[in-house]
């Protein structure tokens, strides 16, 4: 099933040569929102936008009203634009699905319809209904899958974004910045804006990043694991206490801790079978988070596969206790960290 690439979509927007139907989907919220907005912005004349642009929320949409909007003739403009956000195609009643297909299969050339799947998850590999829908609309639709970008692409985005704001940032510093703020593009760009405003101009350093960037819980938990693998229990527990003072959710803290050890386990499995950490990135969903596997390979180099399993067992018990025992969450996490360090200490001795 042919898809329109991001570059192809950029070209259409730049040249103002729009198709009659776009399906915008994927797992990168920022890109989906950005391109859906750009199509709607450029497809109609701004002066007559109130008359020629129509927006509908998919979960409460009346397809008869949508049909009227699609069929409406443009008012003092070349075309109209209809935005349908989050139409739950896979759960529509048959009558509504038939109405939707009738609309989409006969869009007049003076109208552009944008199906923007913001929170609705399009999963053709898992859902027969989505596969059927994509097959039905593919003859007359531009299918645009906007998925999360890899680390290299995000580094390029950060560097070009810094240049546009009068600053410079090296690839190592950009990688460090991403490791702290995460790979969600919305947050990356928000934090980059703050960072460049703080710097003003010139080369951004790691010290600048540390001074400004709001670290994710995952990044702070990574500091905990660094302290644990270094044998510094006092620092690990101090950072945990800081997270609790900041009102971080215990379940999120534990979830990030589990993710670190799952990364280690996956890297162990691949390297012991003759592979590389990068191979795990291809098998599992690490797009934009490849640095986690590099960190896991470094931190877990002295752990055996069986020790990694023991660590996961400890984390599993903590998760069960956290959700069902009624005990103090901070005490449970402190005990968990202590038990994990005992496993790591036994490896060294």
Statement to judge: residues 221 and 208 lie in one domain: no
73, 184: one domain: no
- The domain that contains 313 carries what CATH number? 1.20.272.10
The DSSP bridge pattern shows strands 202-204 and 167-169 to be parallel
- Is there a domain that residue 248 lies in? yes
Give the pLDDT band of residue 346 (cuts 50, 70, 90). low
- Boundary residue ending a domain (118, 145, 172): 145
The rounded mean pLDDT for the chain is: 90
Q: Please give the pLDDT value at position 182.
A: 85
Final residue of a domain: which of 110, 145, 180?
145
User: Is residue 233 pLDDT above 80, yes or no?
Assistant: yes
221 shares its domain with 206: no
Residues 109 and 66 in one domain: yes
Within-domain flag for 100: yes
Together in a domain, 224 and 179 = no
DSSP tag of 56: E
- Is the predicted pLDDT of residue 348 greater than 70, yes or no? no
The model's pLDDT over 277-329, given as tens digits with 9 standing for 90+, comes to 777 777 887 877 777 888 888 888 888 899 999 999 999 999 999 998 889 99
Residue 235: C-alpha distances to residues 221, 240, 292 (Å): 12, 9, 21
81 neighbors 43 (Cβ within 8 angstroms): yes
Q: Are residues 129 and 16 in the same domain?
A: yes
Three-state SS at 88: coil
Q: What does the pLDDT read at residue 36?
A: 96
Q: Is residue 1 in some structural domain?
A: no
Residue 185 lies in a domain: yes
Task: Please state, in angstroms and rounded to a whole number, the distance separating the CA atoms of residues 41 and 323.
Answer: 47
Average the pLDDT over 202-226 and give the result: 91
Domain match, 38 and 83 both: yes
Q: How many residues does the chain have?
A: 349
Task: Flag whether 251 is in a domain.
Answer: yes
Examine the fold and report which residue of 167, 187, 212 is the final residue of a domain before the chain moves on: 212
Looking up tokens 């109130």 gives: 50
Same domain as 223, residue 208 = no
Q: Are residues 200 and 236 in the same domain?
A: no
* CA–CA separation, 93 and 333 (whole Å): 47
Higher pLDDT, 8 or 2: 8
Q: How many CB atoms lie within 10 A of CB 263?
A: 24
- Residue 102: CA count within 13 A, CB half-sphere: 12
Are 110 and 172 contained in the same domain? no
Question: pLDDT, tens digit, for every residue of 107-158?
Answer: 999 999 999 999 999 988 888 999 999 999 999 899 999 988 888 899 999 9
Number of domains in the chain: 3
Domain that holds residue 229: 217-348
Residue 1's pLDDT band, with cuts at 50, 70 and 90, is very low
Give the pLDDT confidence score for residue 104 in this predicted structure: 95
pLDDT in tens, 176-189: 999 889 888 999 99
Could you give the residue ranges of the DSSP H alpha helices within 127-249? 128-137, 151-164, 171-181, 185-199, 206-212, 217-229, 233-245
Task: Kindly state the average pLDDT of the residues 207-230.
Answer: 91
Please report, rounded to a whole number, the percentage of residues in the chain having pLDDT higher than 70: 98
The answer to whether residues 171 and 262 belong to one domain is: no
CATH number at residue 173: 1.10.8.60
Is the residue at 237 inside a domain?
yes
Structural domain includes residue 255: yes
pLDDT above 80: residue 347: no
> Could you give phi then psi for residue 59, rounded to 5 degrees?
-75, -20
**Contact yes or no for 113/44 (Cβ under 8 A):** no
CA 330 from centre of chain: 29
What distance lies between CA 163 and its chain's CA centroid? 24
Tokens of 217: 């819980």
Does 116 fall in a domain?
A: yes
Share of the chain above pLDDT 90, in %: 69
Same domain, 249 and 304: yes
Q: What is the pLDDT of residue 281?
A: 78
Give the CATH number of the domain where residue 25 resides: 3.40.50.300
Does this model's pTM top 0.85? My answer is: no
Question: pLDDT confidence of 15, banded at 50, 70, 90?
Answer: very high
């Amino acid at each position: 099933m042919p898809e329109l690439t991001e570059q192809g979509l950029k070209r259409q927007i730049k040249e103002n040569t729009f198709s009659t139907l776009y399906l915008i989907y994927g797992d990168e919220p920022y890109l989906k929102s950005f391109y859906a907005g750009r199509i709607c912005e450029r497809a109609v004349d701004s002066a007559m936008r109130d008359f020629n642009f129509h927006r509908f929320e998919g979960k409460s949409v009346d397809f008869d009203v949508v049909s009227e909007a699609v069929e409406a003739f443009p008012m003092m403009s070349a075309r109209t634009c209809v935005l349908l956000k989050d139409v739950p195609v896979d759960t529509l009643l048959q009558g509504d699905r038939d109405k939707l297909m009738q609309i989409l299969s006969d869009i007049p050339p003076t109208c552009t319809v944008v199906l923007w799947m913001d929170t609705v998850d399009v999963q053709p590999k898992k859902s027969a209904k989505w596969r059927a829908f994509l097959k039905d609309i593919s003859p007359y639709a531009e299918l645009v899958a906007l998925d999360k970008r890899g680390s290299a692409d995000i580094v390029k985005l950060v560097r070009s974004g810094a240049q546009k704001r009068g600053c410079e940032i090296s690839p190592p510093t950009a990688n460090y910045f991403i490791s702290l703020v995460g790979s969600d593009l919305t947050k990356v760009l928000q934090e980059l804006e703050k960072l460049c405003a703080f710097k003003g101009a010139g080369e951004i350093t790691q010290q600048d990043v540390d001074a400004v960037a709001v670290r994710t819980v995952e990044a702070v938990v990574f500091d905990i694991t660094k302290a644990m693998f270094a044998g510094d229990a006092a620092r690990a527990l101090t950072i945990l206490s800081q997270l609790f003072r900041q009102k971080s959710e215990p379940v999120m803290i534990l979830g990030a801790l589990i993710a670190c050890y799952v990364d280690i386990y996956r890297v162990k499995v691949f390297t012991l079978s003759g592979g590389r950490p990068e191979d795990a990135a291809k098998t599992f969903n690490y797009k934009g988070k490849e640095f986690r596997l590099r960190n896991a390979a470094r931190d877990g180099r002295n752990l055996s596969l069986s020790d990694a399993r023991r660590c996961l067992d400890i984390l599993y018990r903590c998760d069960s206790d956290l959700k069902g025992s009624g005990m103090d969450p901070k005490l449970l996490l402190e005990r968990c960290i202590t038990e994990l360090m005992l496993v790591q200490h036994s490896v060294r001795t």
